[in-house]
Structures are given as structure tokens and as C-alpha cells.
């Protein structure tokens, strides 16, 4: 199980590539649950915490959602295989990240940093 986070996540915004030639898409936790995001093409997330801090999660092969035994959801990312993630984190939901250029990585981070905290979270 992932280590208990020090801060409670209260909302998130995801940036993903729709794979259809359209621009990057931003979607928030007030609009969708993690499970409803595309299976592939995730560029990154910005997490909003109860204490008002924010955290960027980008550059990962896999983005994962798992619920800690105390009931607190954890959204994170890593470069482990799906098999390793599944064995480490029972019940994990995985979304594949998208390999991108440095320029696109900076663009994604900039888009996420400009986002305001959404009103609510469907499953935080």
C-alpha cells in the first residue's frame, strides 16, 4: 500500500491528449472520476490539498488511483509495470501516460499551474 499522504487531496485537474489531433484537454475532479479518464494519453495532474497547497504530477509512464486502508484516496504516478503496480497496490486503477517532448511537457505544466481549484471532487 502506498505510504499515507501527509496532505488530504480535495480536488484534481488532469491534462490529456485526446489522440484525435485536437488540443490537449483539461478535465477536473468536479466533472469526472479518475476511472472515467481515458486509458491512455495522460500528460499529468495538478492535485489540490486541504491545506491550500498544490502538487504537480507529470512525466510518468503510469498514473494511479488507489484508496488507502483509512479511506483516503491517493493519486500518484510512477514508472513501474502494470503488473508490479497491481501486486503492490491491490485495487489500483491505472492510466497510461504519454511520452512527449520537453516543449510539450513545459506546456502541460504551464496549463496545469494556471488551473484554479475545482468546486468539489466526485471521489476524493
pLDDT at 68 exceeding the cut of 70: yes
Q: Which residues, 6+ apart, have CB-to-CB distance to 86 below 8 Å?
A: 92, 94
Residue 105 lies in a domain: yes
pLDDT of residue 10: 92
pLDDT of residue 104: 86
pLDDT digits (tens, 9 = 90+) for 5-32: 678 899 999 999 998 878 899 999 999 9
Q: Is the full-model pTM beyond 0.75?
A: yes
Distance in angstroms (rounded) separating the CA atoms of residues 82 and 40 = 13
Residue 81 lies in a domain: yes
Distance in angstroms (rounded) separating the CA atoms of residues 57 and 88 = 20
Range of the domain at 70: 9-113
CA R_g for the chain:
14
How many domains is the chain built from?
A: 1
Amino acid at each position: 500500500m502506498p505510504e499515507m499522504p501527509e496532505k488530504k487531496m480535495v480536488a484534481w485537474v488532469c491534462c490529456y491528449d485526446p489522440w484525435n489531433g485536437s488540443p490537449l484537454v483539461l478535465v477536473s475532479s468536479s466533472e469526472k472520476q479518475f476511472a472515467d479518464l481515458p486509458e491512455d494519453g495522460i500528460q499529468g495532474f495538478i492535485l489540490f490539498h486541504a491545506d491550500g497547497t498544490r502538487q504537480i504530477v507529470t512525466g510518468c509512464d503510469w498514473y494511479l488511483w488507489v484508496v488507502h486502508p483509512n479511506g483516503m484516496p491517493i493519486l500518484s504516478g510512477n514508472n513501474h509495470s502494470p503488473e508490479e503496480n497491481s501486486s503492490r497496490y491491490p485495487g489500483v486503477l491505472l492510466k497510461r501516460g504519454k511520452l512527449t517532448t520537453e516543449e510539450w511537457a513545459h506546456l502541460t505544466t504551464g496549463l496545469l499551474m494556471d488551473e484554479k481549484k475545482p468546486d468539489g471532487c466526485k471521489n476524493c
